[in-house]
Amino acid sequence: AQSVTQLGSHVSVSEGALVLLRCNYSSSVPPYLFWYVQYPNQGLQLLLKYTSAATLVKGINGFEAEFKKSETSFHLTKPSAHMSDAAEYFCAVSEREYGNKLVFGAGTILRVKS
């Protein structure tokens, strides 16, 4: 069965500092992995997705994530945080067996301090 664990329900960084949001997954087969961002009172916006083409995936707004099979991880990073990055971030996994279904983690709220 698929599952996603996001370590840290809240992360706080200073503006200009490195952003690191952690995601570990459980999957019996090679998964497809996604990061979504949710701003207050809005739906989810896709940041990036891993589809096995390359282990380092670049997304929108300067975010990137690295797939590490040995660690079953797909952590999200951004070199320099901006105030506009404050939002909630969700990691999600899908597997061929389950078709279109996404399984989400509980989310990490990112706070950016000025």
Chain residues binding other proteins by CB under 8 A are 4, 32, 34, 36, 41-46, 49, 51, 90, 92, 94-96, 98-107
Specify the residue, 12 or 45, whose C-beta has the smaller distance to other proteins: 45
Q: How far is the CB of 4 from other proteins (least distance, A)?
A: 8
Q: How far is the CB of 111 from other proteins (least distance, A)?
A: 16
Express the helix, strand and coil content of the chain in percent, nearest 5 each. 10, 50, 40
Distance between CA atoms of 84 and 95, rounded to whole angstroms?
Answer: 32
Looking at this protein, which amino acid is placed at residue 63? F
Q: How far is the CB of 114 from other proteins (least distance, A)?
A: 26
Q: What is the DSSP string of 11-44?
A: EEEETTS-EEE--EEE-SS--EEEEEEE-TTS-E
Specify the residue, 19 or 48, whose C-beta has the smaller distance to other proteins: 48
Specify the residue, 39 or 80, whose C-beta has the smaller distance to other proteins: 39
